[in-house]
Amino acid sequence: MEVAPHGAGWTRSGWRALPAAQLPQWPDPRAAGDVVKQLYELPPLVFTGEARRLTRALASVADRRAFLLQAGDCAESFDEFSAENIVDKLRVILQMAVVLTYGSGVRVLKVGRIAGQFAKPRSAATERVGELELPVFRGHIVNDDVPVPAARVPDPSRMLMAYHQSSATLNLLRAYTKGGFADLTNVHAWNQEFVASSAEGRRYEAIAEEIDRALRFMRACGVDLSTDSPIHQVDFFTSHEALLLDYEEALTRKDPDTGEWYDCSAHMLWIGERTHQLDGAHVEFMRGVRNPIAVKIGPGAEPAEVLELCEALNPARESGRLTLTTRIGVNEVRRRLPPLVEAVERAGHPVVWACDPMHGNTFVSESGRKTRHFDDVLGEIQAFFEVHRSLGSWPGGVHIELTGDDVTECLGGIEDILEEQLPLRYTTACDPRLNARQSIDLAFRLAELLRGD
Ligand code: PEP
Ligand code: CO
């Protein structure tokens, strides 16, 4: 079979001729066009070489030599934009990565859902708030969540605000991950604090002690763990859902060395469960950019459709290019995942298999709040591992929604958050997130799973 060259017949704006799900209707399309023009002139947020490096790193995940930890907010918020918020999230992700590295015994790639995760796909175009039927909130890059009609009108100037917030966030992430904060000894000390801070945490004392011993061993072998050594720096990549194509198009730039196009709004981008129609605008746009990309695969996906997505998005079968992020729900994974894995593996597509245990396990609590139970999140990951292990494929990673704050949005976990506690600190702009302690708890459970305990 002849393989079409990557991106054949593709242009940056070619998606505009196709049906596009989930995009806002800008009230004044000329004003939106003007913002897109301004964004075209602004500097890229990431460098193409970094995206290529992430593709190579993801190829090592596909090749069973690394594990992917993708995590961050469901939706970043213009209202909660602060250094503290960013750093707290980074700290949790770094803590999880250290625990997972130990558990998996392989390198852990750290990819944040951060510095651009603003646009949200929604299941309905309107929502009811009290007596009012309002246009739905689509993320701060489009409109505001305040429940009054004026706030819900899509405002294209928000794309510029999202760009600048992403730029400042990325700047801080680069400083913190290269400047000493991510020092392995530091991160391990935070984990020790977590373990010591509660009776439940002490369950993980044995693992924490083993990691401690490994660090002492490294020091004894002469590995320099001081802040001047390269070991105190980490690679941290950014990602978000490539939903708002006006924004993504405007940040797509040609690499001067290779002549290829990269979406320089983030290192990695994904297509959501609601926008992966094969003849739709999102698949068309994403097939032409050379970043590593992911597609969310839900419980309704059939093997033939998933194979077509692989062909459309990775016709050259380049390892590291495509991640399939399954988000099936704890009760369906054992039945739904195997046929997908078998079809893709049989066809020889070198994908990274990642598990998003959040989106298939969302339900509305009795008090009317969207939530998820920690046990379902862990349960979907366990089932994901079981399926891959029984088929001989590599359970390559996890995709988690979390925050560094002490929120009460998901039930259960180390402090056993109960239904009646949900209103205490329920602050998400969209889906319920694991709080810091639930996230670290999950990482320790995952470490046990990776070690086969
Ligand atoms: C998300 O990742 O926040 C999301 C909406 O996911 P999905 O497309 O899988 O529903
Ligand atoms: Co979400």
Q: How confident is the model at residue 453, as a pLDDT?
A: 58
User: Please, what is the Cα angle at 227 between 221 and 228, to 5 degrees?
Assistant: 85
d(CA 77, CA 162): 9
> How do the domains of the chain map onto residue ranges?
14-182+233-451
Is any ligand 1 atom within 6 A of the Cβ of residue 399? no
Q: What's the pLDDT score for residue 230?
A: 66
pLDDT score of 145 more than 50: yes
What is the SS3 assignment for 421?
Answer: helix
* Average pLDDT score over residue span 56-71: 97
Q: Which of 50-54, 129-133, 279-283, 284-288 has the lowest mean pLDDT?
A: 129-133
Does residue 2 have a pLDDT over 70? no
**CA 76/CA 322 separation, integer angstroms:** 24
pLDDT at 347: 97
Task: Tell me the pLDDT of the chain averaged across its residues.
Answer: 94
The rounded percent of the chain whose pLDDT value lies above 70 is 97
Q: Residue 18 CA to chain centroid, in angstroms?
A: 26
pLDDT at 400 over 50: yes
Structure confidence at residue 262 as a pLDDT band (50, 70, 90): very high
Q: Is 433 in the pocket of ligand 1 (CB under 6 A)?
A: no
Q: How would CATH label the architecture of 14-182+233-451?
A: Alpha-Beta Barrel (3.20)
Predicted confidence band of residue 443 (pLDDT cuts 50, 70, 90): very high
Is the CB–ligand 1 distance for residue 76 below 6 Å? no
The DSSP annotation for 127-146 comes to EEETTEEEEPP--TTT---S
Choice from 431, 433, 434 to test ligand 1 binding pocket (greatest atom count within 8 A of CB): 431
Nearest one of 311, 320, 247 to 283, comparing CA atoms: 311
How high is the pLDDT of residue 3? 44
DSSP assignment string, 95-123:
HHHHHHHHHHSSEEEEEEE-SS------S
* pLDDT for 452: 74
Q: Which of 273, 293, 356, 402 to mutate to test the pocket of ligand 1 (most atoms within 8 A of CB)?
A: 273
Q: Return the percentage of the chain with pLDDT > 90, whole number.
A: 83
Instruction: Report residue 1's pLDDT band, with 50, 70 and 90 as the boundaries.
Output: very low
Is any ligand 1 atom within 6 A of the Cβ of residue 296? yes
pLDDT value, residue 66: 96
Å from CA of 277 to ligand 2 middle: 19
Q: Hey, how many other C-beta atoms are within 10 angstroms of the C-beta on 59?
A: 18
Tens of pLDDT, residues 200-238: 888 899 889 998 998 899 889 988 777 666 667 789 999
* Spatial CA neighbour of 143 closest among 127, 131, 132, 130: 127
Residue of 327, 362, 401, 433 to mutate, ligand 1, most atoms within 8 A of C-beta: 327
pLDDT class for 179, splitting at 50, 70, 90?
confident
**Residue 399 in contact with residue 325, Cβ under 8 Å?**
yes
